[in-house]
């Protein structure tokens, strides 16, 4: 079922809960799109006793709580504008993430004024998580760029896709990007197949993902510029003999940002969904991740590959790398852009 | 919503996961009853896409996994004997306990060969946990003896129900037992009202609880004999000045075991259920809880009241208290007996 790389749990200064502002900003930008999408596309007739929402890759909050609140408000509004206040259903929300996610923290920080019944669901979203036709809206924000694993070819010295000395596919030979793209296609196939089973007919999938502009190759626009200071710190440590070169060569982020046409092709091949929306979010200028933010997102995967003993030094070096660097521009710096995707489960496929 | 006293989490030698054999034995004894009850009473016509089961007060396993497996096997069997194999639904299981329960441990130990979709639901079962009409079977094993709180009167020096120098209502004046009974009635009223909303019509509640024989008073049969060595150790520590007498006087277990007629009255007053079964489990002879077992169940509540610093000494003394004591007999020693209760949600109430 692939590997898992949970965000840092708890509420320490390095935790995801305290360092997820970039994700929150992107989600705020998509809020209006999400609300409009639900209001325009929800089919109330498909709802029976309760309205079930899943947030996949929820981590530990608070972003997941904001997203869920927006969805519920939009559904609520839809009932009201159609004069169906008396039929507003109970809401049940499933917060889902890898089994290694810190659900204890998620549960203790659930908003006390929430207007829904909450549940946690452990497991990978590349497999089935819910019974057949049991969900009305599936949401996932900045989680689907995590592949189930690094494509194997890029670890193979004898492959043209061997990704020596880099930690992702930005500025890599085209074979590396193609290997990532193929892994993404396999993973999305699993994702869409599972979601097609879990949604009621007419149900919706709303995705917020890092993507790249139409007509670009993987290497042209990725999360690479965001990872560059980390790559630089790792290579320095290898040059100074603190890490072996081989350890650095064998490390790659299992992360991918697709183009709209790539995603459209995968949705079409799956066959169970129509693509209602595929919108670029406004291009933004943003600072590099601070050492704390970077640590919140990636400490788990780095610790697993390089061992715990180098973590402190790595992030000290990272902090020095980013100090004073100018912010990144989504497109002119080749940084991936935000894609808002709305899929609707066909009634018959 | 009352207080919570979680079992000890994780997998240390003192954890509930490693020290829940007495509960498992009782559950095994009830297994045949549970399977028969479901087979005889399940109305397949009420099931739509998926069959939803909740285990309330699940703690962290493994007992909850055994119980759920038994229920699913019984439902499965029912479909098979009725020649409806092709209609066997997806199963979804909600493991529920207080928000302070160790859900991370529960999730990482879920059986890998499980035939159901798993979810965790944090919250007190004295309130609503699930949407309207969303469950088919609700199960709770050895959890409902925990009251939402200690009845207030027994802490009041000026009340005839003041429970000085005892840690439960066994061998206490009748006013103490009556105060416990009244608190139990209030709590069960909340429990039954919530479950009546959450179950589909025809849905079932299966409870395994400590209870006492018909026609007995609370003080005649309780879990008191089981607590007696602990009470004795606490009183010794108070006499030796290690604990203040006042700390011991103000400690009481929020635990109650009802008689069948008490429970029947509460079910009748609620009005939404018919009582299908109310069976005494076979009387058993059992050893006192070992220090480890006692610690797994009660360390949380004792630590909260008395502070962490006395815990080691308390359980050392407890171990000495129970060493060499003869086992208890369910009824002749006044120990509460097991009650298996099956309620069915009326289609119209």
Residue B146 sits in a domain whose CATH number is: 3.40.50.150
Q: Report which of A65, A67, A99, A72 is spatially closest to residue A88, judged by C-alpha positions.
A: A72
Please tell me the predicted confidence (pLDDT) of residue A1.
41
Residue B1 lies in a domain: no
Residue A1 lies in a domain: no
Please tell me the predicted confidence (pLDDT) of residue B348.
77
Check A117 against B94: CB less than 8 A apart. no
Residue B95 lies in a domain: yes
Please tell me the predicted confidence (pLDDT) of residue B333.
84
Residues on B contacting A at a C-beta cutoff of 8 Å: 48-50, 89-92, 94, 99-100, 102-104, 107-108, 110, 117-123, 128-134
Residue A10 lies in a domain: no
Please tell me the predicted confidence (pLDDT) of residue B285.
78
Instruction: Mention every residue, 6+ apart, whose C-beta is less than 8 A from residue B250.
Output: B155, B305
Cβ atoms B137, B113 nearer than 8 A? no
Locate the chain A residue with the closest alpha carbon to B9: A104
Tally of domains within chain B:
1
* pLDDT tens for each residue of chain A, 349 residues long: 456 655 666 655 555 565 555 556 555 667 888 899 898 998 888 788 899 999 999 999 899 999 999 999 999 999 999 999 999 999 999 999 999 999 999 999 999 999 999 999 999 999 999 999 999 999 999 999 999 999 999 999 999 999 988 899 988 899 999 999 999 999 999 999 999 999 999 999 999 999 998 999 998 888 888 899 999 999 999 999 999 999 999 999 999 999 999 999 999 999 999 999 998 886 777 788 899 989 988 999 999 999 999 999 999 999 999 998 888 888 788 888 889 999 999 997 5
Residue A11 lies in a domain: no
Task: Give the separation between CA A100 and CA A85, rounded to whole angstroms.
Answer: 40
Instruction: Name the residue facing B104 among A48, A104, A117 (closest C-beta).
Output: A104
Question: Distance, in angstroms, between A95 CA and closest chain B CA?
Answer: 9
Mutate which of B122, B124, B195 to disrupt the A interface (most A C-beta within 10 Å)? B122
Check A50 against B131: CB less than 8 A apart. yes
Check B128 against A117: CB less than 8 A apart. yes
Question: Taking CB atoms and an 8 Å cutoff, what residues of chain B touch A121?
Answer: 117-120
Segments in chain B below pLDDT 50:
1
Residue B3 lies in a domain: no
Q: Which residues of A98-136 are buried (b: 16+ CB within 10 A; e: fewer)?
A: bbbbbbbbbbeebeeeeebbbbbbbbbbbebbbbebbbb
Q: Any idea what DSSP says for residue B179? A: H
Check B91 against A131: CB less than 8 A apart. yes
CA A288 from chain centre, in angstroms, equals: 18
Check A49 against B131: CB less than 8 A apart. yes
A61: left (phi over 0), alpha (psi -120 to 50) or beta: left
State ipTM: 0.90
Please tell me the predicted confidence (pLDDT) of residue A9.
65
Check B131 against A90: CB less than 8 A apart. yes
Residue A6 lies in a domain: no
Question: Taking CB atoms and an 8 Å cutoff, what residues of chain B touch A117?
Answer: 121, 128-131
**Which residue range(s) make up the domain with B178?**
16-345
H/E stretch holding B182: helix B174-198
Check B120 against A107: CB less than 8 A apart. yes
Burial class of residue B307, CB neighbours in 10 A (0-12, 13-18, 19+): exposed
Please tell me the predicted confidence (pLDDT) of residue A26.
59
Please tell me the predicted confidence (pLDDT) of residue B61.
87
Look up residue B72 and give its two tokens: 């699913």
Residue A281 lies in a domain: yes
């Amino acid at each position: 079922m692939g590997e898992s790389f949970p965000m840092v749990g708890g509420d320490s200064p390095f935790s995801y809960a305290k360092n997820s502002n970039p994700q929150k900003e992107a989600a705020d930008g998509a809020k209006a799109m999400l609300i409009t999408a639900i209001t325009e596309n929800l089919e109330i007739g498909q709802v029976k006793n309760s309205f079930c929402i899943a947030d996949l890759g929820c981590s530990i909050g608070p972003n997941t709580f904001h997203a869920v609140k927006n969805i519920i408000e939009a559904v609520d509004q839809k009932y009201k504008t159609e004069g169906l206040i008396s039929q507003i259903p109970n809401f049940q929300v499933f917060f889902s993430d890898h089994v290694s996610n810190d659900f204890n923290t998620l549960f203790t920080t659930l908003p006390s004024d929430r207007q829904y019944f909450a549940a946690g669901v452990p497991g990978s979203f590349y497999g089935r998580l819910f019974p057949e036709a049991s969900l009305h809206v599936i949401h996932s924000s900045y989680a689907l760029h995590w592949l189930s694993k690094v494509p194997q070819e890029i670890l193979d010295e004898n492959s043209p896709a061997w990704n020596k000395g880099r930690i992702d596919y930005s500025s890599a030979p085209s074979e590396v990007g193609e290997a990532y793209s193929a892994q993404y296609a396999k993973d999305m196939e699993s994702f869409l197949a599972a979601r097609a089973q879990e949604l009621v007919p007419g149900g919706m999938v709303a995705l917020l993902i890092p993507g790249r502009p139409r007509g670009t190759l993987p290497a042209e626009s990725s999360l690479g510029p965001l990872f560059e200071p980390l790559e630089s710190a790792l290579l320095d440590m290898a040059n100074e003999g603190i890490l072996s070169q081989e350890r650095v060569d064998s490390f790659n982020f299992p992360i991918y940002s697709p183009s709209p046409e790539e995603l459209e092709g995968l949705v079409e091949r799956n066959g169970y969904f129509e693509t209602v929306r595929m919108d670029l979010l406004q291009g933004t200028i943003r600072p590099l991740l601070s050492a704390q933010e970077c640590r919140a997102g990636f400490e788990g995967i780095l610790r697993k590959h390089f061992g715990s003993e180098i973590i402190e030094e790595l992030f000290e070096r990272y902090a020095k790398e980013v100090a004073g660097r100018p912010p990144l521009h989504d497109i002119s710096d080749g940084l991936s852009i935000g894609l808002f995707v709305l899929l609707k489960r066909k009634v018959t496929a």
